[in-house]
Chains A and B, each alone.
Chain A
Amino acid sequence: MSELLLAEAVGFTRSGDLVFDPVDVRLERGKALVIAGPNGSGKTTLLRLLAGILTPACGKLERHGSLAFLGHLAAVKGDLTVRENLEFTVRFCAHPGMPVNQALARVGLAGLGLRPARALSAGQKRRVGLACLLVARREIWLLDEPYASLDDVGGELVDSLLEQHLAAGGAVALSTHQRQPRLNTDPGRLLIRPAARGGE
């Protein structure tokens, strides 16, 4: 089956109002999807819905693969070293991927493995998040603003990681409002609109 994730007319409500107009999402092997929309339109909400962190208020959601979610928060424990954080991800997720040292080198953090994660800069924490994607093998990547707080080199790194993941048969959905991913095959685009609010 080439579909890894299929969502039909999913929507989410906050205090009874739809956050965005219900959307269809289809993630296939080797395909990327860019979720676009103005600030506050619900890009993060949609990604969290697809990740299963939120429960959809309407629509149907099917997943046929393991999933990784990289959110605004890096999900890194400051009191553990970078290496310990990655080793936790390896054990926590079922399928190990790239060895930890290799993943650190890949994201440009070689030699920082023994540093406590709280001593890292915002950009470096993002890179630890990217390394987490590599050390455990998961088919669906849901990335919320993966380019945030990364420099140009970091942006290119994200692009090459995406390329590699897609080539390996994975699927990606990401939201971004700054840099657009530059990939060999053009990613699909999904524009989400804030739902019209009643009574305003």
Chain B
Amino acid sequence: MFKSLLALLRRDLRLAIRHGGESLMPLLFLFAVLILVPLGVGPGPNLLSAIAPGMVWVAALLASLLALEGLFRPDLEDGTLEQWWTAPAPVGLLVTTRLFSHWLITGLPVILFAPLAAQMLYLPDHALPVLMLTLVIGTPILSLIGGLASALTLGTKRGSVLLSILIFPLVVPVLIFATGAVSAVADGLSPQAHLGLLTSLLILAVVLAPLATTAALKLNVE
């Protein structure tokens, strides 16, 4: 069973590497935001350090959102998705594996480059660990919620508009608590409440999203 999951993960990553341009999208977004926003709002350290957590998070959000259209649709169209139901592994775990590879491609690069981004935006040094922590807790939530929305909109030909409308209200809390935590630390307050709420969102998403996504995929395969 684990061999099947590993096989799926390997193939997903191999396909992601082969579509090199698409896989670099998250990082391109991060740097586009990092370079363009200071040009727009002015390079003053005070202003930039205040909006730094929000900007890194917006980049993470956009990176995650952009890759959603390709999360299940190509598999539905070439027939590999229906094969999941004949696999030796339960579909729910295959779905979780696919979401994990989505996170590896969209979430992880943003986390790895967040320290650089924080430097470029004058984020106070003592706030960086918390920014990283919010990204580690928060980006998987984006992948999980995004996966659910993308499975739900699979039946519509051009689902991306519907997809964004579905996702936005669900990811707003993630954004609020994550940036709230970083701002709190930057202001010398404790980020614990925000981090706690963010973690509870993660737990909720980890438990419920793969189940709901599996059910939504099943509907679309039928």
The chain A residues found within 8 Å of chain B, CB to CB, are 48, 51-55, 66-69, 71-80, 84, 88, 91-94
Contact = CB atoms under 8 A, between A and B. Distances in A.
Nearest to A93: B88
User: Among A51, A68, A77, A84, which residue has the most Cβ atoms of chain B within 10 A?
Assistant: A77
B221 A53 contact: yes
Contacts of A77: 11, 15, 78, 80
Given A54-B222, A93-B88, A94-B88, A69 B82 contact: yes
Please report whether the interface of chain B is mostly helix, strand, loop or mixed according to DSSP.
helix
Is chain A's interface secondary structure helix, strand, loop, or mixed overall?
A: loop
A48 to B, nearest CB: 7
Contact of B11 (A53, A73, A80): A80
B168 interface: no
14 contacts: A51-B85, A53-B82, A55-B222, A66-B88, A67-B86, A69-B82, A74-B78, A75-B78, A76-B79, A80-B15, A84-B11, A92-B8, A92-B87, A94-B4
A54 B218 CA distance: 8
A84 B18 CA distance: 13
B78 A91 contact: no
Given A66-B88, A88-B7, A92-B7, A75 B14 contact: no
A51 B15 CA distance: 27
B158 interface: no
B46 interface: no
